[in-house]
């Protein structure tokens, strides 16, 4: 088993976590913060928007079961990569679209996928592709948020539709867990 790491920021990490938890070959999905100047930031600091960090998910995945390229394709399908520093009503640099790469190979792959999907969008893609900085895990109550809070208003209005979209488009890649 060849385990690798992928890190994506595509708006609220509750959404991206819920989607990626369904994908076959992903061993763990951890919400957290990355890309800013503050060491070990809190959620409250992130929400203020002054840390420079983005809400991200760090995936541990089996590259023999799901490719990095497939994960990048899923990432681009589950959020709007054309909106700068926002996803829906979530606004601020903490909700920016970003791919934090673990290697030069990931960076090349992410750029190639982004160039391919750019032809499918009317507006230019604003997703940043950068080498991965330090990752800080989010507080425990953010882990498995959708699974634990599926009836919460934000989850029913925002997270659930993204999960449903992923199920529709990526049914062949879904895990049986």
Q: Tell me the three state secondary structure of residue 164.
A: helix
Q: Return d(Cα 124, Cα 120) in angstroms, integer.
A: 10
The tokens for 109 are 């792959």
Identify the active-site residue in 12, 15, 101, 155. 12
Angle at 31 between CA 92 and CA 64, to 5 degrees: 125
Residue 101 a catalytic site member: no
Query: Across the strands, what pairs with 56?
Result: 32
What is the torsion angle, in degrees rounded to the nearest 10, for the CA atoms of residue 8, residue 55, residue 24 and residue 151?
-150
Name the token pair of 27. 């061993």
C-alpha to C-alpha distance for 145 and 158, rounded to whole angstroms: 13
Q: Which residues are identified as catalytic? A: 12
């Amino acid at each position: 088993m060849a385990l690798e790491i992928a890190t994506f920021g595509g708006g609220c990490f509750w959404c991206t976590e819920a989607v990626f938890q369904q994908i076959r070959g992903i061993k763990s999905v951890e919400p957290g913060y990355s890309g800013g100047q503050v060491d070990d930031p809190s959620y409250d600091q992130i929400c203020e928007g002054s840390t420079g960090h983005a809400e991200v998910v760090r995936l541990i995945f089996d590259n023999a079961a799901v490719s990095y390229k497939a994960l990048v394709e899923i990432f681009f399908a589950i959020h709007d990569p054309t909106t700068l520093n926002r996803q829906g009503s979530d606004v601020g640099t903490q909700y920016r679209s970003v791919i934090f790469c673990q290697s030069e190979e990931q960076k090349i792959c992410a750029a190639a996928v982004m160039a391919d999907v750019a032809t499918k969008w009317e507006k230019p893609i604003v997703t940043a592709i950068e080498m991965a900085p330090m990752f800080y895990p989010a507080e425990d109550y953010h882990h498995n948020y959708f699974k634990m809070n599926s009836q919460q208003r934000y989850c029913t209005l925002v997270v659930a539709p993204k999960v449903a979209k992923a199920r529709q488009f990526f049914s062949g890649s879904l895990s049986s867990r």
